A and B are shown apart, each in its own frame.
Chain A
Amino acid sequence: KNQVEQSPQSLIILEGKNCTLQCNYTVSPFSNLRWYKQDTGRGPVSLTIMTFSENTKSNGRYTATLDADTKQSSLHITASQLSDSASYICVVIPAGKSTFGDGTTLTVKP
């Protein structure tokens, strides 16, 4: 069982709509949790980085939240654009090896 589970696996939304991606983890303790965006054929790009003591972190239209009690994080995308179509990966970084979720593939349609 993966220690970092993301949902949904894939999501299709219309341009301009909001969406929320989920990340549930069992890795504990950890130093920080990150969300990455990966466009097809390109390397991941860091969107947000949160330590375990932070509840929310924003980066433009991207807002990540973290609930350390329930071990859940979410990435909220506001007013989606076609360029938001990508894979979004949640990564939990403990003292040792990073643990990656399988990602959520987001498709934004016009």
Chain B
Amino acid sequence: DAGVIQSPRHEVTEMGQEVTLRCKPISGHDYLFWYRQTMMRGLELLIYFNNNVPIDDSGMPEDRFSAKMPNASFSTLKIQPSEPRDSAVYFCASSRQFKQFFGPGTRLTVL
């Protein structure tokens, strides 16, 4: 299995632009997580899905952030409009039971 796949690996955009991050979980996993990591705040859980249904989105910082999981093999995290403080590494992870497998992350820079 190729593991959790995220794209793009790097994204540089200007403030106000829409950003879409993509994730393909490991086949057969029924949980999908989105995390954000910054130097200041460390690793934060943004939202997680179970069987494509959002279970807990309390970590989503504000309405500018939205996440979808239209099917078991694809999820997106969208930021609209983006702001410089959104600059971070965004990780996607999937799991079937306890153990989570993380993707390589998307490094987002908002200028």
Contacts and interface: CB of A to CB of B under 8 A. Distances in A.
Interface of A: 32, 34, 42-46, 49, 89, 91, 96-98, 100-103
Contact of B98 (A32, A42, A89, A103): A32
B58 A43 contact: no
Contacts of B99: 46, 49
Interface of B, secondary structure class, is strand
B102 A98 contact: no
11 contacts: A34-B98, A43-B102, A43-B105, A44-B43, A45-B102, A49-B98, A49-B99, A89-B42, A96-B58, A100-B42, A100-B45
Interface of B: 42-45, 56, 58-59, 91, 93, 98-105
Given A42-B105, A43-B103, 20 more contacts: A34-B98, A34-B100, A43-B91, A43-B93, A43-B102, A43-B104, A43-B105, A45-B102, A46-B99, A46-B101, A49-B99, A89-B42, A89-B43, A97-B58, A97-B59, A100-B42, A100-B44, A101-B42, A102-B42, A103-B43
